Structure 1
């Protein structure tokens, strides 16, 4: 018989709580989200402690039930849980305890470098008042030793470490008075930390599911967990020793390693939900209810998602010519394509043609901009019916949005333009005639790949895609100079590979910058419109329009 959960409020010295972590008796369960605090949040915690402010209660669950937990906390390895003993698991307070343990129990030989994963755990308290204002604590972002009057917080709980630091102060101080003053200040701070008391709410008994539900309800406020992390926690233990988040990270890594780049975790999560039979994939409330609904199908859905997303990537690459995940106009398109391939017994050639048409139409028309939960549910229902041969896709009446007047990759219309641009000009050449590897540059530099032709500020139309070129030039040679030189040398083959006409360059030669952009914009918009109409998609009434920043 399972004993009901009982709650016992207690007060402990912080030093005692951290020592339990060091002994492996107080642990962080794997269903917890990872360490997310920013460095400034870590400093604020220490500043609040010195000022005597409460840091909030910790909630722990004591049980003899074996539970998968982290073997590192705050960047430090901890020993395994004592065999057969009752172990406490942190349900609320992971970020705070990780910060305190990682800093105060830092070993003297722990890595020091300019990398954040190293310096974030080295927290110091400058002892000279002029060294701080506001938050009194500092990170030392270097592999070099910190100034001698910076008290390393790792030394305040260890008597020998603290005495060694005090001796250092005596050695480097200019006078006995200065050494005494700095030593007293360091002793005051150390005493603050050693005497700091923490409110601990200890739960005993109950089931793992009850403990997880307590955890999820606590995390519904404050620094919220992502929906995928919440459902991962609520379904912990239902799909093996790895959590749902672990498995989704594996899928994300596998797709990225294929060269397609990273698909957002939320897109993978929504795909898992959709393939498990859930259609409210964007709902942001009642995660406990959703978790209970889908947990029986999760293992199968995760495995299906792994396989189906590979088919989606192949379809996007081969049949739509989308080379990188970051160029997909709407992430919901990835999820809906996964729904199609999952629920279709046999994919007909005609369906593939319609899917390609659907992708381009919805991308150019902004179909999914600001989609509501109800609309997304309807999209999923429609895609399932289409996959089963029971209906069509209602997008044929959509009209493409205008050629974007601004180059902003947050706009789905701009990403659709780039997909057309990459297909239309696949063999761009640099000034020396060598091939420009656009995809390699896009995979790393993103928007910086498309360089400005006109760089002067205040030029009307300078933000247009028509003012962007993918070309590498020698030091000291601008894109504008390179284009003029190519025209003068008669290298129309290189100019054509970028869609730059001799007519537009005549304006460059005369420093008519706005006219150059306008002419090239008209030429690109006309070519893109031909492509749009060749697909049977209605073109926009207006040639050039605002590039909306889309949200899904």
Structure 2
């Protein structure tokens, strides 16, 4: 049984300025059993908004004990931390402290999650603009009194807002956060506290539990985590941020087909994996594999799966991936079959889109059942058999296409629609150039859906209520002007820098004809929506017929058939 604390916690208060300075100096440390940083930009904005409003932001729990000299990473902040005799290790409050330090220290605030500014006119926190705007002050400037004064000297036309800026600066620096500090030698006691705090009322995710179980010692440099894997995949492929639970499930799928298996003994132990399918024990394809090797090869397999999605299946970004479990299945397949032939790639694309259209509901237990059946279909030494079994599991050719009368960016049906639009190679209505994956990646950042890349064609408020959810009033336009109410001016009036032919081509890439645009100009908005809805339906049907290939034979590649024939000949000999 775990013992209790040696001494009672001492209560204290830290200002935001105190916490930022301690983080900068390397006095703040993150213990290995802590979860990875998981907040997104909107969470960081909410924290700062609460501070300026004077709302409570919760208390901290800090563990006082020595810390070695090390290169410390706190969010996007990298610190050459010296040895500290009584460092403050964060047991509870990592997300808040990391967000404060990363957003308020200049070198760290380049990360899009933390690149925030304060709009003095609108009195709200916003992303830092690409170019300086006098009334939008970056938080590292606002947090430093000297830099605030320099800002107003540089932009004297904004002096009427100087009092407001000073108030925000003072509030940020002096805001107090309560903290409990404990001194305890037994790490298991702190792990027990951490477990209780994160499982009573707000449970840890499976990925967070896994990360804590296999975190190991603090001193291992550059060790892969689920956050780092997701970061690498986004940086290198522009696919967006894959959530940690999906990364975990993909890594587990690579190592064995039962992705719901007990994870506490994944890398050894009495209940460890087995090469065979024994009752009560999981099938592990790599039973002697070390933790770091599993992470590295898991990332490599995910990389191949994502490349397939982007280059062959037409899914450019995770925000347009209909179901996350399909990435898990693909990761297992590309782990065991890293270089499929062209015929297998085509059949795999066919399977992917059939599975996306059919959805997980055809499997017992919905998504849980789908991932179980599909992952088990992938056999390590049989690419042809794996793909054939995958195809057999989604053989429902009469499945209707998504309903275009309901456009919700967080729903699988809408993500399928968005992929069909992407296949039409949408162009900018401003300059006529086609959008690319980099445009999507830049606009969507860490977003889980493609909402920020979608624009209304005409203002939503001008449309009768029964048509407001229709896909016909949306267009895939991944540009940074997210606050634009609609793109109606670009649809109804040709920009001077575009030729008529280029403008018509840009409109056509969004399935808008000149006749449709004229309906908007004439005020016949509903007629426009009906006309475009019909065009979208035709394009979606054509896209799915091309991708799903329902009426085609699932004949394996000629190479695999020859191999089978040779094997039979050898057997007869």
- With the length of structure 1 as denominator, give the TM-score of the two structures: 0.63
TM-fit CA distance, 1:340: 0.4
5+ residue gaps, structure 2: 110-115, 119-136, 145-160, 274-287, 444-449, 552-573
TM-fit CA distance, 1:258: 2.9
Alignment equivalent of 2:248, drawn from 247, 259, 269: 269
SS at match of 1:319: helix
1:250 aligns with 2:256: no
Q: Are the aligned partners of 1:484 and 1:508 in contact in 2 as well (CA < 8 Å)? A: no
Q: In 1, Cα distance between the equivalents of 2:79 and 2:430?
A: 54
Q: Are the aligned partners of 1:400 and 1:537 in contact in 2 as well (CA < 8 Å)? A: no
Q: In 2, Cα distance between the equivalents of 1:495 and 1:96?
A: 44
TM-fit CA distance, 1:427: 6.3
1:533 aligns with 2:545: yes
TM-fit CA distance, 1:381: 1.2
Q: In 2, Cα distance between the equivalents of 1:120 and 1:316?
A: 43
**RMSD, aligned CA:** 5.5
5+ residue gaps, structure 1: 50-54, 123-139, 157-192, 540-552
Q: Which residue does the alignment assign to 2:151?
A: none
Q: Which residue does the alignment assign to 1:127?
A: none
- With the length of structure 2 as denominator, give the TM-score of the two structures: 0.61
Q: In 2, Cα distance between the equivalents of 1:270 and 1:309?
A: 11
Alignment equivalent of 2:166, drawn from 131, 135, 145: 145
TM-fit CA distance, 1:117: 5.9
Relative distance call for 1:113 and 1:409 in structure 2 (3 A) is closer
Q: Which residue does the alignment assign to 2:405?
A: 405
Q: Are the aligned partners of 1:322 and 1:419 in contact in 2 as well (CA < 8 Å)? A: yes
Structure number with bigger Rg? 1
Q: In 2, Cα distance between the equivalents of 1:97 and 1:229?
A: 17
Residue-pair matches, total: 455
Q: In 2, Cα distance between the equivalents of 1:73 and 1:247?
A: 13
1:216 aligns with 2:222: no
1:464 aligns with 2:470: yes
Alignment equivalent of 1:349, drawn from 342, 350, 354: 342
Relative distance call for 1:378 and 1:142 in structure 2 (3 A) is farther
Q: Are the aligned partners of 1:308 and 1:338 in contact in 2 as well (CA < 8 Å)? A: yes
Q: In 2, Cα distance between the equivalents of 1:35 and 1:487?
A: 46
TM-fit CA distance, 1:375: 3.6
Relative distance call for 1:315 and 1:346 in structure 2 (3 A) is closer
Q: In 1, Cα distance between the equivalents of 2:78 and 2:204?
A: 24
TM-fit CA distance, 1:395: 0.7
1:478 aligns with 2:499: no
TM-fit CA distance, 1:341: 0.7
SS at match of 2:313: coil
Write out aligned runs for 1:47-66 (5 A). Answer: 58=61, 60=63
CA deviation vs aligned residue, 1:338-395 (integer Å, no higher than 9, x gap): 1101122762433212210111112223337994434422322123469554441111
Q: Are the aligned partners of 2:51 and 2:172 in contact in 1 as well (CA < 8 Å)? A: no
1:517 aligns with 2:529: yes
Write out aligned runs for 1:326-475 (5 A). Answer: 326-344=319-337, 347-367=340-360, 371-384=366-379, 388-391=383-386, 392-393=389-390, 394-397=393-396, 399-423=399-423, 425-426=424-425, 428=427, 430=429, 434-437=432-435, 439=437, 441-445=439-443, 446-447=450-451, 449-455=453-459, 456-458=462-464, 460-469=466-475
Alignment equivalent of 2:207, drawn from 228, 231, 253: 228
Q: In 2, Cα distance between the equivalents of 1:476 and 1:71?
A: 42
TM-fit CA distance, 1:419: 1.6
SS at match of 2:315: coil
Relative distance call for 1:380 and 1:146 in structure 2 (3 A) is same
Q: Are the aligned partners of 1:400 and 1:538 in contact in 2 as well (CA < 8 Å)? A: no
SS at match of 2:166: coil
Relative distance call for 1:410 and 1:69 in structure 2 (3 A) is same
Q: Which residue does the alignment assign to 2:125?
A: none
CA deviation vs aligned residue, 1:307-335 (integer Å, no higher than 9, x gap): 22221232122222333332222222222
Relative distance call for 1:372 and 1:330 in structure 2 (3 A) is closer
Q: Are the aligned partners of 2:91 and 2:190 in contact in 1 as well (CA < 8 Å)? A: no
